[in-house]
Structure 1
Amino acid sequence: MLIGLLIAIGTGFIISNYINKNLSKITALAKNLAEFDFSVPMVVTAMDEFGQTGTALNKSIENVSNLIKIIIEKSQDMSSSSEELSATVEEITSKTEEIYEAVVDITNEMVEASSSSEEIASMSEELTATAGQVTEAVRGMSETTQKSSENIERIKISVDETSKAIEQIAETAQSQAEFALNLNDIVNKFKI
């Protein structure tokens, strides 16, 4: 009976030690995961319930690590795409500003030409009867100049609207770049 009791105590000690050892491995793995350290898998030595749990946890860690690597890669791609988009938007904005300045210059020149046309028309009325034909031609030029001014004004409005759209694109690109950087910061917390 004493021998049976000693065997039972010894067996209980061995089983308790085995369970404690495996639970310690699982606890150590859980602590690493809590600190986003996915670099150390659990060493599996048996295929009992503890071994199966360890194998499943290791597979989960591998899957999460692969997912994090994909997220890092995609966020870097997204970040560089956002930077390229921002550069393109800046270039388009610059070109739009140049077009706007050219439209303003043309408008000013057209106003000057219109003013000169009106002066010529006034002088030509004072000259001779044949000058009436010149006056009509000059008035036609004046009307054409007026129409050109109106068209240029429409172009100016269109350029303004385009500039606003480009600014919105730039803001979107900036938001995407910030999102990618924030995502990178989050992902960089993981140790893979």
Structure 2
Amino acid sequence: MTALRLVAVSAGLGRPSSSRLLADRLTEAVRRRLPGEAAVRVIELRDLAADVANAMVTGFPSPRLREAIEAVTEADGLIAVTPVFTASYSGLFKSFFDVVEEGALAGMPVVVAATGGTARHSLVLDHALRPMFAYLRAVVAPTGVYAASEDWGGSGDAATGPLSERVARAGEELAALMPARAARPRPADEVVPFEQRLAELRP
């Protein structure tokens, strides 16, 4: 059985980043629920910020940005995490998905997640993230996860409490959606006409 491919995209800007921490928690929650092994990758957009900006201006992604985009579009499941800036997703987060080819995320199972300073920004999941991925024709898991500063607790650990419950539920939902994505028909290799193959054999 081929390992399912899980990719998490984190738009956190700091190191350490609460967005990356949430991405890691969600990734682990999905892995625990998958029936077999999973090939997991976390993409930190912070490292690709200049590449994303250049691609927006020129229309041509750099090799490492192209490789990151391919990892996302070829995944069987996606975790998308952004910090909240001005009551919405970050510009870097939006710009990354703007440079993804139109239609490439159609049918992609996605868990949307966000981090912010206070719980009042939690509606970003429903007024910004869900509509964006619906426009991209992705399949958004019912449970979105928002983590405010107080959700992590004084120790910075979210191992117990409501946040861990939301993370576990979202992980279960994404894990349930991924096998169907993995079973989708892959694009067939390009068919070369017989006449063209024959011509290539001639001296």
Q: Same fold (TM over 0.5)?
A: no
Which range, TM-score by smaller chain?
under 0.3
Between structure 1 and structure 2, the one with the greater Rg is 1
Query: Which protein is richer in strand relative to its size?
Result: 2
Query: Which protein is richer in helix relative to its size?
Result: 1
